[in-house]
Chain A
């Protein structure tokens, strides 16, 4: 089955990103295809590489980045939601004259059209969040 995953909540504050990750791992193990993971609302905060959790805790951002590298996952952060919350890639940094970017490896910033496209293309769109 072709799956789209949507994450609405930021890391650590809420379990949504953990559950979405566990769901993604299980789905891949079962042989399903993950078309895209779309991060919206505070979910965009999963995509900053500046995340530094305590060493004895899981590293939510790194886990997503590694899963993306291993399986070629498309991790998309909504640009409008990202701008509000300070998630920045090099293009956004230059466009808005910021002094740094912080997007994590494997994540890319794009528009809400990517969410709609996932809805159209996927057999199931599965949402994690409140």
Chain B
């Protein structure tokens, strides 16, 4: 369909301290109803959004991390995480939550949505997108 655009949600900020990450997720959840080609990107401090084991109790803020793991149910199948951003923060893929989707072209096999990409590859993904919503 020609009216399907490639939406890329770019997450650049730490999950807490400001509301950008949380309200970004709200856009992704609403946007899922529009049947566009959706991908998420995590760069800079945005990679902390996917680090597992959040405990927001003492912040007095709702823990919205479970919504990330539910994104597969919203047909979000592409989650790009920048390798350099992880390395610069002493993180590896093993520190991240699991995000999965069911592949309809492969007998609904459960597959990981997370793809670790280089900074150069991330630039190409951005260039290839039609609409970038950057948070």
Task: Give me the interface of A with B, judged by CB distance under 8 Å.
Answer: 6, 8, 40-41, 80-81, 111-113, 115-117, 119-120, 125, 127, 130
Do the beta carbons of A40 and B23 come within 8 Å of each other?
yes
Which 8 pairs across A and B sit closest by C-beta, in order of nearness? Answer: A119-B131, A112-B30, A116-B31, A116-B34, A112-B27, A125-B131, A41-B23, A120-B5
List of A residues within 8 angstroms of B26 by Cβ: 80, 112
Listed residue (A6, A81, A117, A119) with the most chain B CB atoms within 10 angstroms of its CB: A119
A4 closest partner in B (C-beta): B131
Cβ-based interface call for B7 (8 A): yes
CA distance A41 to B104 in the complex (A): 35
Contacting residues of chain B (85-135) with chain A, CB-CB under 8 angstroms: 130-134
Cβ-based interface call for B20 (8 A): yes
Taking A119-B7, A125-B131 as contacts, is the C-beta distance between A41 and B20 under 8 angstroms? yes
The interface bits of chain B over 29-53 (1 if a CB of A lies within 8 angstroms of the residue's CB, else 0) are 0110110100000000000000000
Interface residues of B, count at CB 8 A = 19
CA distance A81 to B22 in the complex (A): 11
List of A residues within 8 angstroms of B18 by Cβ: 130
Do the beta carbons of A112 and B31 come within 8 Å of each other?
yes
Taking A113-B30, A116-B31, A119-B7 as contacts, is the C-beta distance between A41 and B19 under 8 angstroms? yes
Do the beta carbons of A120 and B34 come within 8 Å of each other?
yes
List of B residues within 8 angstroms of A112 by Cβ: 26-27, 30-31
Do the beta carbons of B20 and A116 come within 8 Å of each other?
no
Smallest beta-carbon distance B31→chain A, Å? 5
List of A residues within 8 angstroms of B23 by Cβ: 40-41, 80-81
Do the beta carbons of B3 and A119 come within 8 Å of each other?
no
Do the beta carbons of B30 and A125 come within 8 Å of each other?
no
The residue that A113 contacts in the complex, of B19, B33, B132, B133, with Cβ under 8 A, is B33
